[in-house]
Amino acid sequence: MHLMYFTEQPMSTYPADKGLEFGATALMFSNRYFDPVDGSRLYNEFLEQYLYAEEVGIDGIMLNEHHNAPFCMQAKANIFAAILAGMTEKVKIVMLGNPLPLSENPVRLAEELAMIDMISKGRLVSGFVRGGGQEQLAAGVNPAYNRERFEEAHDLVVRAWTETGPFRFEGRHYQNRVVNPWAVPLQKPYPRVWVPGVISRETIVWAAEQRYPYIALNTSIADTKKIWQTYDDVALEAGYEAGPENRGYLIQVHVSDNEEKAIENARQFRWMQGEFTGLAHPVWSTPSGYSSPRNRRAFVEFAAGRRANPRGQTSFEQQMEDLRIIAGTPDTVVPKLRRILEETRPGILALWGNDGTVSQEDSMTCIRMIGTEVFPAIREIAKELDLKSPFEAEAPVSIRYSTDLKAPAAAAE
């Protein structure tokens, strides 16, 4: 099993009351409330967390990016990935990931990722995402073409990584007269691609067709099982049987040496969900054309007060009961994680350990206990349940990887 640490890197020092007063903190909430002095401190604290995660034996650092919102300070995940590529030695750098539809130059993105892969000596996992709806609006990208741009940019990036140049690429959204990057990945045929998501069936289907592991982002156990059923059905149609190596799961887990403190800190997971900050208006999150008509209608009805949030964001107590939020000491956390592993059987597990205004001291305590107490127990459970990660399972010939500097494996014909 591959075990990762994640935080959204929140900009948690802005005046939350102003966000609540405005009614949203994404897209249209003014950046005059951003303090670069606090931003500098927080960036360096997050870097300290990531370096400590490697020190205590965590397998991977999960990175992502968002825009125009204080709930995530990473405006370009590749920057942190590049820093970590040079400052770490063993930990996987797992990007979940680069929002492809926002890219106006996928070839440059391919070059950046290739550089990260080479500097890290083959430790990059390059996840791709569609990006949030409000981010399409902020970037001036037509939401109606989001999925088209996602798939076309993916194809161009992979060709830039694997096909000898120069060659020409003429797509609907991207036209490159010359594709001939000199920076190409160390991993062959190209870095592993993992695809995260929440409720989009189309993304699940696409990931299964590509044989890319799908990472369910903080979904309920019941919804996660539905995701795997969809993935497994598509995999069989594509000619293979999916297993734990194709499944990933991100869950919000805060660990402390004190049960009460852990639960109190875990309440900060509601910070991103909007209880303290507001977040984006649902219509901005799912602008017309961005998602399927069914999903769009659900969010519009939620915005109008006619139905519950389609993402299932309920009270803190309910999420604790449903195991969408877990908090406590290692002794109480591990049995709950065992239940999740038994029921959802992922080969990739990411713990979203800290959010909101959790102090740096408590964040580091959480990371230490995850790395030295929780994850060792989880590794034993994973062996018992035969939950192999993509690194442990025998990869199909079409995506066999090598980082041997002298004799990299050839890409499959």
**Cα–Cα nearest to 411, from 161, 104, 45:** 161
Query: Which CATH architecture describes the domain 2-399?
Result: Alpha-Beta Barrel (3.20)
Q: Where are the domains of the chain?
A: 2-399
Q: Minimum mean pLDDT among 79-83, 221-225, 346-350, 408-412: which range?
A: 408-412
Are 264 and 320 in contact, with CB atoms under 8 Å apart? no
State in Å, rounded, how far the first CA of the chain is from the last one: 29
Whole-number pLDDT of residue 303: 60
Any residues with CB less than 8 A from the CB of 336 and at least 6 apart, and which?
323, 326, 328
Whole-number pLDDT of residue 402: 64
pLDDT tens digits for 260-281? 999 999 999 988 777 666 677 7
Are 194 and 125 in contact, with CB atoms under 8 Å apart? yes
pLDDT tens digits for 9-46? 999 898 888 888 888 888 899 999 999 999 999 999 99
Whole-number pLDDT of residue 307: 65
Q: How confident is the model at residue 413 (pLDDT cuts 50, 70, 90)?
A: very low
Kindly tell me if the per-residue pLDDT of 405 is higher than 50: no
Average pLDDT over residues 327-349: 98
Both tokens assigned to 1: 């099993």
Kindly tell me if the per-residue pLDDT of 306 is higher than 90: no
Run of H or E including 60: strand 60-63
Q: From residue 389, how far is each of 81, 228, 243, 313, 348 by CA, in Å?
A: 21, 16, 9, 29, 6
Kindly tell me if the per-residue pLDDT of 384 is higher than 80: yes
Average pLDDT over residues 247-254: 98
**Cα–Cα nearest to 153, from 132, 135, 129:** 129
Kindly tell me if the per-residue pLDDT of 290 is higher than 90: no
